[in-house]
Structure 1
């Protein structure tokens, strides 16, 4: 996804939240914020992705604040809540009648897990709403390449699976288990 008109404001808002979490010292907070503004500004162009700019922002704040993980506490809570919800997620998948449907449901669970985000303006993921999230993704996945992914996975000897959000790995584990059951 290339950068869109609204992306810089979201990146900057996240920089504000992250700099607040990175330090209790107001001077370090301000320096982290200003350094991240500069880093975002110097690296923004029409072809850059928001993820790339987000990585630059995060690295800048971590370096300036000397805090390697400003969202450490949120990640711990997210992991705990995701683990608590694993039985619900597994039950959802077990209701599928075919291996193909189980794979699809495992992919949908993994997609929902990717919604575990912190510091995004006007966005809050409520773990208690997991069934609603699953239902929404199931109804409107947007671009749906799950069957194509399944065909490719069935042909694969090995698969490298990358994760990026705390909490999501608990749900990704379910998808990895499905991939293993397919022989990948």
Structure 2
């Protein structure tokens, strides 16, 4: 997905949010420096994920904190863990557990803070959990996806946020029951609320998949624009029978490229992403794309 004019104020708002989490006195300097990047680099030719990565690298350098979201990430994980019993019952009692696990995974995608269309706090998920599970997806290819998973030998799963990963674990369990090898991709460095291997270990979830791969570099979504980064991972993704891509940032990066088969699981929290997916804003998406999204 390419950068839009709507993306720019959203990015600067997110910068202000993350500075406010730990270094309030750095807010003005962070916004000034990030605005310089907007002036120099903003273009409808650059992918929104690449541009967002440049903005957040700048903000992190000014903040001087390796992981500004660390407390929020832990809170999200604790909230999700407190709902595991309900989540497992929801999947177990469904006529179609794998499809139910996909919907559950999207509910976890709302644990994404500092942007519109997401939850205000982890606690809100507890209050709204059942209602969110009952919401009908705006796009639902889960029947076809279920068949494809059963025929796949290897599924690559691109993780998104902390908290969300707890519900992703239940989805990965259901995928494994269909037979394919599961490869989970997590961030190699902390960025926003995205899950890292360190976060997984803190949850005792390091065995969540058959294999775990860490990304290279500090990037929003998956860095697919630098040919010298994530070289081995890109090869695995091209060879995989199916890729499952969680969240908007991964969609923004992945939709720029052609893949054998990719499933997008997310809440379309903003108008540009919703437009790219041909749905209304705030729709839940279970979308299978073969080739490149049109």
Distance in structure 2 (CA, Å) of the matches to 1:169 and 1:16: 25
Match of 1:115 among 98, 103, 110: 110
Q: How many residue pairs are counted as aligned between the two chains?
A: 176
Q: Alignment partner of 2:115: what SS?
A: coil
- After superposition, what is the alpha-carbon deviation per residue over 1:114-157, rounded to whole angstroms, capped at 9, x for unaligned? 11111125752511211111112xx2x12222223222211211
**Aligned position for 1:104:** 99
Distance 2:62 2:134 in 1: 41
For 2:46 and 2:143, the matched residues in 1 are separated by 30
Q: Report the TM-score when normalising by structure 2.
A: 0.55
SS of 1:159's partner is strand
Hey, what's the Cα distance between the residues in 2 that align with 1:144 and 1:47?
Answer: 30
Summarize the Cα distance change of 1:80–1:176 in structure 2 as closer, same or farther, 3 Å threshold: same
RMSD: 2.0
* Unaligned segments of structure 1, at least 5 residues: none
Larger strand proportion of the pair: 2
Q: Which residue of structure 2 lines up, in the alignment, with residue 20 of structure 1?
A: 20
Label 1:13 to 1:75 Cα distance change in 2 as closer, same or farther (>3 A): same
3-state SS, counterpart of residue 115 of structure 1: coil
Displacement of 1:15: 1.2
Alpha carbons of structure 1 residues 133 and 53: separation in structure 2 relative to 1, 3 Å: farther
Match of 2:93 in 1: 95
Deviation at 1:110, TM superposition (A): 0.7
Query: In the alignment, which of 138, 154, 167 is matched to residue 150 of structure 2?
Result: 154
TM-score, normalization: structure 1? 0.85
From 146, 168, 172, the equivalent of 2:168 is: 172
CA distance in structure 2 between the aligned counterparts of 1:169 and 1:18, rounded to whole angstroms: 21
Q: Which residue of 1 aligns with 2:252?
A: none
Any gaps of 5 or more consecutive residues in structure 2?
Answer: 181-294
Give the distance between the partners of 1:114 and 1:81, measured in 2 at CA: 13
Structure 1 residue ranges (4+ consecutive) displaced by more than 6 angstroms after TM superposition: none
**Larger helix share, 1 or 2:** 1
Structure label with greater radius of gyration: 1
Contact 1:163 1:169 in 2 (8 A): yes
* Contact 2:3/2:51, CA 8 A, preserved across alignment: no
- Does structure 2 retain, via aligned residues, the 8 Å contact 1:22–1:29? no
Task: Report which stretch shifted further, 88-97 or 50-59.
Answer: 50-59
